[in-house]
């Protein structure tokens, strides 16, 4: 339970959507429904980049309006969804560019791209075109939601996502846009591999939680690492290397202990208290660590010199993950020196054999692309691991951009040998 006023909750979500260019000044609308049946909704014709709490409109359950502005012109759409799906209490409608692209070709993203996308978004529906703000559009969208969908692409219009609360609706919105972007980039590389029901279930079968650890008072080192790790997780979110529902980051505390991001806590809102201490197979009491904890633990056990581990899903690097196309690091000297040669790991190893996954990386081979599951990066400290993640995503984006202007010409072998001799021989 949270004690945030509906006005403030709507403002916070709209700020995140607008700041990441997932809607425009005039586009998009949000609403949430209270237990009393009242609906709070964003107004029409008000700058989304400068929205204030007094701009939010209250629509009473009896239809009375309270507020200084008219409600969004899409109010009929929101009300129709709430009527057709009484369990839903939060709605996001906006025009993020990747999902608009799908709406323009009358298609929907296949969420079998990743197990997390499938879990968060489910099957995506499609609503035929009707005039914006009309009762006809409201009927079309509500009908698309009726079979159980929580994400619906609107023909030549955008997307609507919904959830049991506004936070869940936003998580679906952001995850679906990320999936759509990844599909678009991956198609520039080649054919996309999608997960089967059995493969999705494999991820769902991972054990959740560990025996509880009686944690002593934190040391000054732990407090410092908590602060530093949170700073980099938030940076990863702002740079779109993580999204709210995806990405895990850990840092070694000592020989047997590390701090890791929690399970199902919004990466964009993470603070020091959310991080989970894991030590000798147990985790901090009252908290649930990332489902990737077993992989991180095995990496620390096998590689004492590794002090930070990241699982992430940056769009461009992840495009290589879902196509199986090798990512050639022989682009510029920085990429080759920072990333080395990148391993490709078959889907499922990360769920079934933590020790084998740990053997796929090392200080000499610090990056792996996980089939249909993003990337794995290690480093001697938080900064080195994060830098590798940034360089990896920049390299992937540069290679994808090559496809629009010519063929990639990798550095020749004599150049890479010289780089290795000069910078890596020690």
Q: What is the pLDDT of residues 389-426, one digit of tens each?
A: 999 999 999 999 999 999 999 999 999 999 999 998 76
User: 114 is written with which tokens?
Assistant: 């990743």
In this structure, what token pair is assigned to residue 121? 């978004």
pLDDT (0 to 100) of residue 426: 61
User: Domain range holding 136?
Assistant: 6-187
Same domain (yes/no): 159, 281: no
Q: Which band of pLDDT confidence, cut at 50, 70 and 90, is reported for residue 198?
A: very high
Instruction: Return the pLDDT at 2.
Output: 63
Q: Is the pLDDT of residue 308 over 70?
A: yes
Looking up residue 324, the CATH number of its domain turns out to be 3.40.225.10
Q: Are residues 142 and 230 in the same domain?
A: no
* Region 204-211 average pLDDT: 79
* Same-domain pairing of 264 and 139: no
Give the model's pLDDT for residue 34. 95
Higher local confidence (pLDDT), 165 or 206: 165
pLDDT at 204: 85
Coil/strand/helix, residue 342: coil
At 207, the pLDDT band (50, 70, 90 cuts) reads low
Q: Is residue 201 part of a domain?
A: no
The answer to whether residue 372 is domain-embedded is yes
Residue 119 lies in a domain: yes
Alpha-carbon separation of residue 380 from 300, 348, 357, 359, 374 (angstroms): 11, 26, 18, 16, 21
Q: Would residue 350 count as lying in a domain?
A: yes
Smallest CA-to-CA distance from 99 within 162, 41, 39, 157 is with: 157
- Binned at pLDDT 50, 70 and 90, residue 45 comes out as confident
Q: What is the 3-state secondary structure (H, E, C) of 301-337?
A: HHCCCCCEEEEECCHHHHHHHCCCCCCCCCCCHHHHH
Say yes or no to pLDDT of 329 above 70: yes
pLDDT tens-digit map of 367-383:
999 999 999 999 999 99
Residue 195 domain flag: no
Mention every residue, 6+ apart, whose C-beta is less than 8 A from residue 34: 6, 40, 89
Counting the structural domains of the chain, the total is 2
Is 208's pLDDT higher than 80?
no
How confident is the model over 349-364, as a mean pLDDT?
Answer: 96
- Quick one: 161 and 217 in the same domain? no
């Amino acid at each position: 339970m949270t004690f945030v006023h509906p006005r403030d909750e709507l403002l916070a979500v709209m700020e995140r959507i607008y700041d990441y260019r997932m809607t425009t000044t005039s586009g998009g609308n949000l609403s949430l429904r209270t237990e009393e049946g009242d609906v709070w909704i964003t107004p029409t014709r008000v700058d989304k980049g400068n929205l204030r709490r007094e701009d939010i409109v209250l629509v009473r359950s009896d239809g009375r309006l309270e507020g200084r502005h008219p409600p969004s012109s899409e109010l009929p759409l929101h009300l129709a969804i709430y009527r057709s799906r009484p369990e839903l209490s939060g709605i996001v409608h906006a025009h993020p560019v990747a999902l608009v692209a799908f709406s323009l070709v009358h298609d929907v993203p296949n969420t079998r791209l990743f197990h997390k996308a499938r879990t968060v978004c489910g099957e995506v529906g499609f609503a035929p075109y009707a005039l914006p703000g009309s009762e006809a559009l409201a009927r079309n969208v509500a009908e698309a939601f009726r079979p159980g969908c929580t994400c619906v692409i609107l023909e030549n219009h955008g997307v609507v996502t919904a959830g049991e609360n506004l936070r869940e609706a936003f998580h679906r919105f952001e995850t679906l846009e990320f999936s759509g972007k990844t599909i678009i980039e991956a198609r520039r590389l080649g054919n996309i591999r999608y997960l089967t029901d059995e493969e999705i279930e494999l991820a769902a079968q991972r054990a959740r939680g560990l025996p509880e650890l009686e944690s002593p008072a934190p040391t000054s080192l732990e407090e410092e690492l908590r602060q530093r790790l949170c700073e980099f997780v938030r940076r990863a979110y702002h740079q779109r290397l993580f999204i709210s529902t995806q990405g895990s980051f850990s840092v070694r505390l000592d020989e047997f202990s590390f701090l890791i991001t929690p399970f199902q806590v919004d990466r964009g809102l993470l603070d020091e208290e959310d991080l989970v201490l894991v030590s000798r197979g147990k985790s901090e009491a009252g908290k649930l660590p990332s489902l990737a904890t077993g992989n991180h633990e095995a990496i620390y056990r096998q590689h004492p010199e590794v002090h930070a581990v990241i699982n992430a899903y940056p769009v461009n690097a992840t495009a290589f993950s879902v196509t199986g196309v090798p990512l050639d690091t022989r682009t510029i000297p920085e990429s080759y020196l920072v990333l080395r040669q990148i391993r490709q790991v078959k889907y499922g190893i990360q769920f079934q054999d933590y020790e084998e996954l740990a053997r796929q990386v090392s200080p000499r081979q610090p990056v792996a692309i996980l089939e249909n599951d993003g990337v794995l990066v290690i480093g001697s400290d938080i900064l080195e691991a994060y830098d590798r993640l940034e360089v990896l995503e920049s390299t992937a984006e540069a290679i994808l951009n090559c496809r629009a202007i010519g063929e990639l010409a990798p550095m020749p072998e004599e150049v890479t040998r010289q780089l290795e001799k000069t910078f890596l021989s020690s």
